[in-house]
């Protein structure tokens, strides 16, 4: 759907103005060219996008949905294009923007061309055309590679989000035609992978048995980066307080608390009351610095002046389980996440209360994100479980 940006602009003009004639005047092209552009989009969509009558041209429900997605895409893209040159909103092509994105990522023409499956001169030419229109360089040569200037970085980000919006448009059109296109991409933090996400996927599969689902795991910062770039639909896991940045929104689904755990043969299970000083004597497995779990862990030991020194930083439940079973390490982890281990008899709960360790678990989404119907179905499954 993002192959010809000019056709999309023409389509949007017709949808907004309700007239081929007025759209031709606004876009400065002939009426036959307008008709050709809209007809091509209808063929690609596989459905009628306009209802034509003597009173004018009116978007069908599918056409109206497409027009809204296109409007949102250009609302993201055009300010960044205009920042470089007033003419770029009219002259920039999808191929040029895809080359810019690839160069922004690879910082090398050969690697960018390989990523796009194109010849290196093709990518170089696309970047040169953008630079000529902008009358300024978009990349600076450094010892590390070709680094994008700040306006080029902003344009690459806007283009990524605009293309993601147009990909959503394809899913909307397929839905209207009774087909499924696209996929659900979830950024999952540790608790969600073992507690709520499997059940949500199972419930979603009953309604949509064929739509692909991709689950990304990794450090929170990496998942947030993918979310903001439009590569991940939403994150699920522990929420941050405050929200990490202004262009994302958070939604609480439920609350969880933390637990201190150990292996069944650990000396702290001997029966004597466990003190904070006792806990500080042992090595720990705990989440990385900056995570909500780690913040609670560090606050727990604040009365002693410093947290324990012997720490293994990891978000892996498997690593924690095996290390606690084989050694005298202790673990600090989500109570819901570790609950199955108690049932299996692999780990034990330390008799030590953690005051004020409740933390919100929920969704992190782009603030202006408009989900497709399939994405809304998946979110509904998550909310129902919560």
User: Taking the C-alpha atoms of 71, 75, 80 and 82 in order, what is their torsion angle to the nearest 10 degrees?
Assistant: 80
* pLDDT value for 355: 80
The closest alpha carbon to 158, from 87, 229, 83, 234, belongs to 229
List the Cα angle 322/326/328 in 5-degree steps: 110
Interatomic CA distance for residues 246 and 367, integer angstroms? 8
Contact (CB, 8 A) for 334 and 258:
yes
Q: Using alpha carbons, list the distances in angstroms from residue 163 to 4, 50, 76, 314.
A: 12, 23, 10, 35
pLDDT value of residue 55: 84
In whole angstroms, how far apart are CA 385 and each of 46, 207, 223, 232, 382?
36, 15, 23, 21, 5
What local confidence, expressed as pLDDT, does residue 1 receive?
63
Spell out the domains of the chain, with CATH numbers in brackets. Answer: 5-159 (1.10.10.10), 183-253+361-385 (3.40.190.10), 258-357 (3.40.190.10)
Q: What is the mean pLDDT of each run of 10 residues along the chain (386 residues)?
A: 86 95 94 94 90 90 95 97 95 97 96 97 97 96 92 97 95 84 91 88 92 93 96 95 94 94 94 92 94 93 92 93 96 93 92 88 96 95 90
pLDDT at position 331 is: 97
pTM above 0.85, yes or no: yes
What's 288's DSSP letter?
Answer: P
Kindly give the interhelix angle for 61-84 and 31-45, rounded to the nearest 10 degrees: 120
């Amino acid at each position: 759907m993002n192959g010809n940006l000019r056709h999309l602009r023409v389509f949007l003009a017709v949808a907004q103005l309700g007239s081929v004639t007025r759209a031709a005047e606004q876009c400065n092209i002939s009426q036959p060219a307008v008709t050709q552009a809209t007809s091509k989009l209808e063929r690609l969509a596989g459905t009628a996008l306009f209802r034509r009558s003597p009173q004018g041209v009116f978007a069908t429900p599918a056409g109206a949905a497409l027009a809204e997605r296109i409007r949102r895409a250009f609302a993201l893209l055009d300010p960044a294009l205009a920042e470089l040159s007033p003419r770029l909103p009219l002259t920039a092509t999808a191929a040029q923007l895809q080359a810019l994105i690839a160069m922004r990522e690879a910082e090398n023409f050969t690697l960018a061309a390989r990523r796009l499956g194109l010849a290196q001169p093709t990518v170089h030419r696309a970047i040169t055309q953008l630079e000529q229109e902008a009358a300024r360089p978009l990349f600076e040569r450094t010892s590390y590679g070709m680094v994008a200037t700040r306006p080029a970085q902003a344009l690459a980000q806007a283009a990524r989000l605009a293309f993601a919006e147009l990909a959503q448009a394809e899913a909307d059109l397929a839905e209207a035609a009774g087909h499924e296109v696209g996929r659900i991409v979830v950024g999952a933090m540790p608790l969600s992978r073992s507690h709520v996400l499997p059940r949500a996927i199972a419930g979603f599969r009953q309604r949509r048995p064929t739509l692909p689902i991709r689950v990304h795991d990794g450090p929170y910062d990496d998942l947030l980066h993918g979310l903001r770039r439009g590569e991940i639909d939403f994150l699920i896991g522990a929420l941050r307080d405050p929200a990490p940045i202004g262009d994302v929104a958070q939604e609480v689904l439920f609350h969880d608390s933390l637990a201190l755990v150990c292996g069944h043969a650990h000396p702290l299970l001997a029966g004597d009351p466990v003190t904070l000083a006792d806990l500080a004597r042992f090595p720990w497995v705990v989440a990385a610095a900056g995570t909500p779990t780690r913040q609670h862990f560090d606050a727990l030991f604040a009365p002693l002046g410093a947290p324990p020194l012997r720490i293994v930083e990891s978000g892996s439940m498997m690593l924690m389980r095996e290390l606690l079973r084989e050694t005298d390490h202790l673990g600090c982890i989500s109570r819901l996440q570790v609950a199955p281990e108690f049932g299996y008899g692999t780990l034990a709960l330390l008799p030590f209360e953690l005051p004020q360790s409740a933390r919100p678990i929920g969704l992190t989404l782009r603030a202006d994100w408009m989900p497709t119907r399939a994405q809304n179905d998946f979110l509904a499954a998550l909310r129902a479980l919560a």
